[in-house]
């Protein structure tokens, strides 16, 4: 398996991967994402910023993640442990449904953690929907600490904010 920066030619296959992930989430009663989000416009913007990475198996995109330093302004209400504010933020981590529970998400998060080390930063921040127990347990198993919550979208429950200090 190979992790690399996505390019414009990957967009339709990335959206196919997201459609599979969303379908799986909805089967499990997780309403975090839908056909409106994440959408091609958002992912295309990530690709143009050179912050979207994909993982491929035999040239098929099976997962993706956006990694940058852009945190939602609501993150400022969280008492982060990285007081130096030298962090990366993970957004839109997704894995094709048939590859769930095969370590793909973990590989993408390990990749993000290596970026923190390589860029001499301290931590990773992220949020996940409170109605997504799979994601919550996933991040906790990887050593991420829940530090509070924010309300990102109207008509949705809270989003839990997680951080991991990378040594």
C-beta separation of 16 from 40 below 8 A: no
Give the distance from CA 36 to its chain's centroid: 17
C-beta separation of 96 from 63 below 8 A: yes
Where in the sequence is the domain holding 148, given as residue range(s)?
2-165
Domain count across the chain: 1
C-beta separation of 89 from 68 below 8 A: yes
Residue 153 has pLDDT above 90, yes or no: no
- Tell me whether the omega of the peptide bond preceding residue 154 falls within 30 degrees of 0, making it cis: no
pLDDT of residue 156: 80
pLDDT of residue 64: 98
pTM of this prediction? 0.96
Nearest CA-CA partner of 15 in 54, 71, 49: 54
pLDDT digits (tens, 9 = 90+) for 37-81: 999 999 999 999 999 999 999 999 999 999 999 999 999 999 999
Share of the chain above pLDDT 70, in %: 100
For residue 97, with 0-12 CB atoms within 10 Å meaning exposed, 13-18 middle and 19 or more buried, which class applies?
Answer: middle
CATH number (domain holding residue 8): 3.40.630.30
Beta strands in 29-119 (DSSP E): 52-57, 60-68, 87-95
């Amino acid at each position: 398996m190979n992790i690399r920066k996505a390019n414009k030619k990957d967009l339709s296959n990335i959206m196919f991967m997201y459609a599979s992930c969303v379908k799986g989430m909805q089967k499990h009663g997780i309403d975090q994402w839908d056909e409106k989000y994440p959408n091609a416009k958002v992912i295309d913007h990530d690709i143009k910023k050179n912050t979207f990475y994909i993982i491929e198996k035999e040239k098929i995109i099976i997962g993706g993640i956006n990694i940058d330093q852009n945190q939602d302004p609501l993150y400022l209400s969280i008492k982060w442990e990285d007081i130096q504010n030298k962090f990366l933020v993970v957004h839109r981590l997704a894995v094709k449904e048939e590859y769930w529970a095969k370590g793909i998400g973990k590989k993408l998060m390990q990749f993000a953690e290596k970026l923190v080390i390589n860029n001499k930063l301290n931590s990773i921040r992220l949020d996940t929907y409170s109605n997504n127990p799979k994601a919550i347990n996933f991040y906790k198993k990887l050593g991420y600490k829940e530090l509070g919550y924010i309300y990102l979208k109207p008509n949705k429950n809270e989003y839990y904010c997680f951080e991991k200090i990378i040594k």
